[in-house]
Each structure stands twice: as C-alpha cells, then as structure tokens.
Amino acid sequence: MIHDLEAGGNASSQGAWESAGAVANPPDTPGTPASILTFTPPTDAAWMEQIPNTRENPMRREVAELLRALRQIHLSPNKALARRQIAAVNFGRRGWNEASLRRKYELYVGGGCKRRCVPSACTCPENQRFSPGDAWCLVDQARAPRQESERVPYATVQFFMACAESNQRNDLAGHREFLRVWREGRAQGRAFRQVGTATTELKDFPGYHGWPEPAWHGKHPEGCSYDNLRAQARRLGADNYTKTLARIGRQAASQHRLKVFTTRVGLPFAAQYQFDDHEFNVKIRWPDQQRFLRPRGFFVYERLSGSVFAQFVKPTLWDADLSKKEALKLSDFRHAVCAVLMGQGYRNDPTGTQFVWEHGTANDDTLAEVIERVTRGRVAIVRSGRFGRRAHDGQYDPSTPGHGRGNFRRKAGLESYFNLLDNAHALLAGQTGLNRDRSPEQLAGAEREALALVRLAQTLPPEQAAQLVHPLLSWPEFAAASAELARAIDTRRDHELEGWESCGFTEVRYLVGGEWMSEGDLQHLDPDRRAIILGRAREDSRLSNVLRLSPREVWTRHATELTRLDWRHLPDLLGGEAGAHRNPQHPDGTYAVRAGQFEIEDSAIGSDTLRFDAINLDGRRLFNGERYLCYLNPFLPTTLVVCDAQNRVVGLCPAVAAPSALDAAGIARRMGQVARWETEARTDLNARHAAEAAHIAAVREHNAEVREQSATGLTKAQRQTVADLQAPDPDAWARRQARLSRQAEQAGKLSQEP
C-alpha cells in the first residue's frame, strides 16, 4: 500500500502533473529536464523480456509501485516528510525504508550509478550506470539482472573469446588485450597481436571495416564493455568447459562435460576388478634410511560389492647410489595381479572377469596376453582411455601418441575409496597434507628430529635404541595402523553406495528382549516364537529396522563363487626366468634344498627368514643339495614355485608357519609333518638294506630261542605244547592233535624217500 500525499492541499500540483505530463523542478531536485521524469515503467520489448512479473517474482508490479511513490515524493514540497510517511506505511518491505527511498529517488532523478561515483572517475560496468529517468535503476539486480542491449558483431565476440582463452589466468586480462589491440589499431591504423611465439598483424578490427570509434565515455567501442562481451560470449558457448579446455587441456576440462554413469544393479559378482596405485599422504621411517618417503601400493576394487578386497603396500626407499627413490615397478604390478588370481580368484564361467587398469605402471601387454591364455579367456583386460590429445589445432599434443595420462573416471569407485582412505589416514603422524599448499608447516621440523634420532640410534646399543620415541611411524607401525583403517572402511555400514537397496544388500533386524537380532538369528528360535516376533514387528515399526550390509559382508557372501588360478602358472605370469626370485649368494641365482627346506631371506618381504617345505608336484620330498630356480610372490608368500634347469615346474612348496611356543596343537601338527617326512626319506633306505634287516631279525630270533631253551630246558615245540595244554581255549587240544598228525604224516613221507 502507498500513502496518497496528493490529496487535499496538494490538489493544484496534482492538476499541474496531469495537464503537463511533468513537473517543474522543486528547489532540492537536481536539474533534470521535465520531459524525462515520466514516473512510468517502460513498455519496450527488452523490459518485458527481462523483468519478470510472476507470482513468485512480481518485479514489474513492484517497480510500478516504486515509481508511484517517487512521483509522490517528487510532487511533495516536503520530500523528507513524504519519504518518512511512505516508509512507515510500507514498514517491513524490502527496499522501502526511508534511506532506500532517498537513494532511489536521487538515482532516478539525477542518474549515475548505484555507488554514487563521481562521473569522471566511475569504474562501474555500463549495465550499472543509469541515465535520469531510467526505471532500470529501481530493479532489484539480484532478482532480475540487467543486460546490455548493445549487440556487437559476431567476429568481435569471437576475437574477445580468443583473447580471453589465450590468457591462462582470467577473462579480464584477455579484455585488456582486446582493448590494447583496439587502441593500437586506432592510433597506427594496424595492430599486432602475439600469442605464444606467433605474431599476427591486424589491419581491421575483427567484425569491423577499419577501427570503430569509442563510445560516449571513450573507454571502448560501443557495446564492447567487459560485462557485455562476456554475456554475449556465453550465448555463443563460452563456458567453463571451453575455457578450461583452451587454458589447461582435455583432462582438466573433463569435469565440466557430460559424464557417463554406470550402475551396479544387475552386475554379476566379480564381473569387474579395478586396479590402481596410490601414494599415501604419510611419511614413514625405514631402518638406516636418511630420507623419509611416502608408502605406495596397489589396490583392487570389486565393482558389485564396493570392497577393496586386496591391497599391496610397499615402503618407498631411497637409493643413495642412484640418488632417486625406488617407486613401484612393473614387477610389483605383476606380483599384485598374481596375488589376486591365486589368492582370491576370478569368475570361471562365460561371464568372466574384467581387469580394468590404466596405462602407467600397468602398461604391460605381455602380462595381459598371458592372463587371457592361462585363464582360457575368462579374464579380459580392459584399459581406461587416455588424455593425450590437444584441445584444438592451435596447441601442441600434451604427450606422444599412445602415452597420455589414463582416464581416472573409468575407476570412479576406486578413486572415491582413495579419498576415504586418505581421510582415515589423516590422523597418523607424518602428514604431508592434501597438496603442497596444505602441507603442515611442522613436517620439516618433524623430519629433522626423526633424522637426528636415526643417527643417534646408530650409535646406541640395540636395547637402548629401541627405547627412543620417534616423531614418525616406522614401517611395521604404519602397516599395522593402515591395515586396521582399511578394515574399518571395508566393514562400514554407514555408506551410500549406489544401487545398494536395489541389489538387495540389506539386512532386517528385530528388537527382541532389548537386543537386536538378525534374520539369521531368528532361524535358531522356536517357530512359534519366531512367528510372534515377526507379527509384532509388522504391527510396530519400532521393533525392526533395515541396515545396509558392509562391502566386506557382500564380498564374503559371494567369495566362494570364485576360482583360484593354479600356482603352476606363476612363472609365465612373472615373465619367465626374468621374474624368478634370485639368490644373491649364488652365481646362477638358484636355491638349494637344505634339511628338506628352502630358506629365503628378503628384507623387502620381511625381516624373518622364509621357510618352505621342499616337495615336488606329487607331494614327495625334494632331495637335499639339489638346486632349483625359485619363483616367489612377495605379496602372497604362501607358496614357492620351484623349476628345473629347463624352467619346468617341478614342485609347489608350501610355506612353513612356525607355531607359538605355547601352541601345543600347532607343535604336534608340525611334529607329525616331520615324522611323515622322515618316513618317506627312510622308505628307499630300508628297501636298499632289506637283506641286512632280514639277517638281523633272524639272528635276534635265534638268540632269543637259545636264551629261552636254556632257561626252561624245553625246545620251542615243547614250550608250545605246554602252552596249548595250559590254555583255557577248549579247541587248543584239537589243534594240537591236528598238528601232531601233520607232523607224523610228514615224517612218514620222509622215511619212504630212497
């Protein structure tokens, strides 16, 4: 509502307004031609198009009300009183307080900008500067921003876009280059523009014949303000995608383009494994290392369950001789893939399993061919795309053909897991931060302290050095903490994995006696009680709830569907003899069987000696002293594959797990294995000395007979007769008579021989 100040004593002014269409300037009104101050809203097409008049945003109606209020103020001899009365009537409305009404009145009558700058020094955009009587000054720019009506030639806008895109920082600097070319061309009749090492001569300003004249303010050609050119450039497709594409490249611009989303709904279990390497944002210490580096490892993600079921992490060491760090190598990736195939397995059906990896550390065509061959095509290798092409023809290729960076979006699930992993590890000591700008400032001091303690530990006895408290974690400490954090992530239930409910990965729990029970627990109850519990849950929703399963629970539920690859394929997967585990203490790198075992020491795997029972493919022992070429996977050191001189697999040797000193059952099992090994080892020996064994047995039997006859005075036959007579067996006498008969018969036959 607007208070009407034109009634009563102001009737003469009202009549003058209606008759003349304008009023003379009151004493405190800026000098403005009366014909301009119409106090009526525009009716042109631009106004109707840009100013909304909807129920949610009735901007045109509000502007019309403001104009009527300003007209009352303009006609009032006491403008301060008029403003105060109108503000009181419209109390609480946005932009209707006394101060706002005064600013809007002065801007509408006198023109200028909303910041009330000095006209000669005003730097406001053109769409924020208004002429006297321009109703645009009353528009709420937040709800209906004003756009310039000036249209510039298409080629001019394209030239501005080229200047803006050529500047690697921002559009404003590109607009300065745009104006520099225009000023230089107006002054000299031609201009030169340099982009990189190329220089272009311009005889005409793009979009014009010659060089256009400046607008009334003299700063730039008509319509070529920064805001207007940007607005028209947006109409021609200049957005974040094209700017980032031109300034940085295709990889950075990919976040602004259309995405290809996939779902896990309907996906078979283990149909896709995603491989990728990751470097932790934590620095650790390693014995005798003078530099503290970040561990790295390979991670494997199963698409359906969302579980990172395998991770193979290694410490990053510093090679003082080569002055560089030992990063992950192709052999490490081979070991990781073999650990997955032989430790977890793959789908051995027509669906098969896809292994998705990038082109970096995993760029090995030979490994892909061997995997597809040994799995008979059940495992297919899929590589992600590359960001290696230039954005436009005016750029150089970022990389040589076939060597661009991989498209990380092919493994979006695994990349998201890395974010969770880094967030969880952010609590550990030795943080390097998300990037260089966010790195903790105390890290340098912590490294100096850790280095001083490492050098001090080298001068102390081992028992005293073990008592030092370091600011950085050791490798065993980090490995244990990292494994626990990864387990917590994989067993979480408070996740929002896509398509989880549609896949049925939920569990219903029921409140029974103050405790929550799963559906599996209810199966162990009496059927009648189970029916009562389910009936109450249907009646009262508070007695049941639905929980999401964790990724690890889904993985465990389906893990039995997988087929593990035979260990005999390990030499082929590791690249033949080049991938064998070499013995540094022997010239040909082979290992000998000693005491029925292979013993391997490798600090990269652990500080303890690894022991494997030396057996062949039939389970029989390998002989001591024989030398074999050995293949060992450091990521899965459960089996040692041994080969002969022709690199043929002759044995699969299981690792020996040493039982605890108090584990009586474990010690008994191991002793049983040793006894079986001894029995097998003595079998051939006994066969070779069977004659000696028979002689010893005969001698012992003879000597025993002599001792017995000397003690009793009876022969062996007489002793047997006495034993039969004394035996309680009623058939003993009959057996004795039968024996005597046979003896008499034999004696008769002997007497008849010539």
> pLDDT digit string (tens) for 274-322?
999 999 999 999 888 888 999 999 999 999 999 999 999 999 988 888 8
Torsion on CA atoms 469, 475, 481, 486, rounded to nearest 10 = 160
- Whether pLDDT at 674 is above 90: no
Among residues 106, 138, 170, the one where a domain terminates is 138
584 or 607, which is more confident?
584
Residue 28 phi, psi dihedral angles, 5° rounding: -100, 20
What is the model's pLDDT at position 13? 32
Lowest mean pLDDT among 57-71, 75-89, 109-123, 390-404: 390-404
| pLDDT value at 451 more than 60 | yes
Final residue in a domain of this structure, among 490, 517, 537: 490
Note the pLDDT of residue 362: 58
User: Angle between the 716-726 and 690-712 helix axes, to the nearest 10 degrees?
Assistant: 70
Mean pLDDT of the chain: 83
Tokens 């030979």 correspond to 366
Q: Is residue 453 part of a domain?
A: yes
Q: What is the CA radius of gyration of the chain?
A: 46
Query: How many Cα neighbours within 13 Å face the side chain of 318?
Result: 14
pLDDT score, position 107: 87
pLDDT tens readout for residues 24-49: 334 344 444 444 577 887 776 666 76
Residue 264 pLDDT > 70: yes
Three-state secondary-structure class, residue 591? strand
In a domain, 573, yes or no: no
Q: Has residue 746 got a pLDDT over 60?
A: yes
Same-domain check for residues 250 and 338? no
Pick from 353-367, 503-517, 622-636: least confident: 353-367
CA distance 387 to 403: 9
Q: Same domain for 252 and 280?
A: no
Query: Does residue 89 share a domain with residue 132?
Result: yes
Place of tokens 């080229």: 162
| Nearest to 407, CA basis, from 558, 250, 515 | 250
> What's residue 750's pLDDT?
53
Task: Give the separation between CA 655 and CA 554, rounded to whole angstroms.
Answer: 30
Q: Is residue 568 part of a domain?
A: no
Residue 32's pLDDT is 46
- Which residues touch 45 (CB under 8 Å, ≥6 apart)? none
Domain of 35, in residue numbers: 8-138
Closest CA to 277 of 332, 325, 340: 332
* Burial of 221 per CB tally in 10 Å (0-12, 13-18, 19+): buried
Helical segments of 303-411, H only: 330-343, 365-374
pLDDT of residue 22: 33
pLDDT at 599 over 60: yes
Give the number of domains in the chain.
6
150 pLDDT exceeds 70?
no
Is residue 260 classed as helix, strand or coil in its secondary structure?
A: coil
CB 642 within 8 A of CB 609: no
The answer to whether the CB of 644 falls within 8 A of the CB of 591 is no
Q: Could you report the per-residue pLDDT of 466-483, keeping only the tens digit for each?
A: 899 999 999 999 999 999
3-state helix, strand, coil in the chain (%, to 5): 45, 15, 40
Rounded Cα gap, residues 467 and 610, in angstroms: 28
Do 372 and 287 share a structural domain? yes
pTM, whole model, 2 decimals?
Answer: 0.70
> What pLDDT is stored for residue 721 in this prediction?
76
Higher pLDDT pick, 588 / 403: 588
Whether residue 576 is contained in a domain is answered as no
Does residue 559 register a pLDDT over 90? yes
Task: Give the list of residues 6+ apart from residue 39 with CB closer than 8 angstroms, or none.
Answer: 67, 68, 70, 71, 74
pLDDT top residue among 585 and 387: 585
| 396 has a pLDDT exceeding 80 | no
Residue 18: what residue type? E
For 579-611, give the secondary structure using H, E and C: HCCCCCCCCCCCEECECCEEEECCCCCCCCCEE
**What pLDDT shows up at residue 406?**
60
| DSSP string for 388-449 | -S-SSTTS--SS-TT-PEE-GGGGHHHHHHHHHHHHHHTTSSSB--SSGGG--TTHHHHHHH
Q: What is the pLDDT of residue 399?
A: 65
Domain membership of residue 33 (yes or no) is yes
Would you tell me the crossing angle of helices 171-188 and 154-166 to the nearest 10 degrees? 120
**What pLDDT shows up at residue 702?**
86
**Between 10 and 644, whose confidence is greater?**
644
Q: Does 92 reside within a domain?
A: yes
CB-CB contact of 285 with 450 (8 Å): yes
pLDDT digit string, tens, across residues 696-707: 988 888 888 888
Classify 264 as helix, strand or coil: coil
372 in the same domain as 314:
yes
Residues 424 and 524 in one domain: no
Question: What is the SS3 assignment for 118?
Answer: coil
User: What is the average pLDDT across 439-458?
Assistant: 91
Model confidence at 5: pLDDT above 90 = no
Sequence-separated (6 or more) residues with CB below 8 Å from residue 342: 564, 565, 566, 567, 570, 633, 636, 639
| CA-wise closest residue to 588 among 580, 597, 596 | 580
Tens digit of pLDDT for each residue in 212-236? 998 877 888 888 988 889 888 888 8
Task: Let me know whether 282 and 412 are in one domain.
Answer: yes
In this prediction, residue 401 carries a pLDDT of 57
Q: What residues form DSSP beta bridges with 517? A: 510
- Confidence grade of residue 687 (pLDDT, cut at 50, 70, 90): confident
> In this structure, are 208 and 317 located in the same domain?
no
Q: Mapping DSSP to helix (H, G, I), strand (E, B) and coil, where does residue 622 land?
A: coil
Number of helices (H), then strands (E), belonging to the chain: the values are 24, 24
Res. 387: pLDDT tops 70: no
Residues 348 and 478 in one domain: yes
Q: Whose CA is closest to 71, among 131, 136, 140, 2?
A: 2
Give per-residue pLDDT as tens, 510-557. 888 888 888 888 888 888 888 888 888 888 888 888 889 999 999 999
Q: Judge whether 690 lies within some domain.
A: no
CB 232 within 8 A of CB 152: yes
Mean per-residue pLDDT for 668-678?
86
Q: Has residue 498 been placed in a domain? A: no
Instruction: Give residue-wise pLDDT tens across range 76-111.
Output: 999 999 999 999 999 888 888 999 899 889 888 888
Tokens matching residue 254: 């990919």
Same domain, 665 and 747: no
Among 685, 702, 734, residue at a domain's last position = 685
Say if residue 342 is in the same domain as residue 461: yes
Q: How would residue 404 be classed by pLDDT, with cut points 50, 70 and 90?
A: low
DSSP structural state of residue 462: H
The per-residue pLDDT for 160 is 93
160 and 196 together in one domain: yes
pLDDT band at 413 (very low <50, low <70, confident <90, very high): confident
